[in-house]
Amino acid sequence: MTATNQQARYFALLPAAGVGARMAANGPKQYLAVGGKPMLRHAVDAFRASDLVAHTYVVVSPDDGVIDSVLPPELDGVTVLRVGGATRMDSVLNGLRALAGQLAEHDLVMVHDAARPGLTPSLIAKLIDGVGDDPAGGLLALPVVDTMKRAAPGADGVSVSAATVPRNGLWSAQTPQMFSYALLLRALGSAPDANAITDDASAVEMLGLSPRLVEGHPRNLKVTLPADIRIAEMYLANEEN
């Protein structure tokens, strides 16, 4: 692949170097089976099934000994980058830097959580269509529908409800989050604290830009706790494109 084509292309980048501590599992959560297939493979296959995506890159730790069994080297349309870092942001930034010279500045990069197995080609298309040519990029997200509470410490360390927070204008961020290669590289490279960047949009916002919010779908949930696996499997049992 070269960066000579002036037409912007779409690429996927999945950071998959995390350990998934909250899952209480014996290994990284991205390799846990959901519906009979590793979570990471579900996410990768969604991008592979999209005609809009030129190539998919997966960032793993240099010493990852599992990835070759999940994403065999001969798998079409996928490249594994063994440049994972200590934080999610580090992994994404290392992956972007490893692609220097392969992606043009105006190419669009969709960063997606490896632990979101419910992604579909139709959601990818919806993101691309919804963001359009907005220079600030955009992300899938869901409007908050529950009443929001601000917690405070109560007696014996138990959390209590201290206030009700207006939910108007609140959205729950999902992935993919899509930005031009140059913008994402600049935003993450200038972020002051890697631990404070929990998603890529927050780094772009620090530059004074406002990424578009494109309504996603509940099936695109992030598997964080063991109970989330059953919910993800419920959605996967009702496949959609």
pTM over 0.85: yes
- The token pair that represents 224 in the structure block: 């964080």
Fold of 10-236: Spore Coat Polysaccharide Biosynthesis Protein SpsA; Chain A (3.90.550)
Q: What is the model's pLDDT at position 196?
A: 81
9/180 Cα distance (integer angstroms): 10
- Determine the Cα–Cα distance for residues 36 and 158; give it in Å rounded to an integer: 38
pLDDT at residue 23, rounded to an integer: 46
Is-contact 110 95, C-beta < 8 A?
no
Residue type, 211: P
Tokens for 63, please give them: 């010493």
Which pLDDT tens digits describe the chain residue by residue (241 residues)?
444 457 999 999 999 997 644 444 567 889 999 999 999 999 999 999 999 999 999 999 999 999 999 999 999 999 999 999 999 999 999 999 999 999 999 999 999 999 999 999 999 999 999 999 999 999 999 999 999 999 999 988 899 999 999 999 999 999 999 999 999 999 999 998 878 888 999 999 999 999 999 999 999 999 999 999 999 999 999 876 5
Is the peptide bond prior to 176 cis by the omega test (within 30 degrees of 0)?
yes
CA–CA separation, 113 and 93 (whole Å): 14
Secondary structure (DSSP) of 160-192: EEEEEEP-TT-EEEEEEEEEEHHHHHHHHHH-S
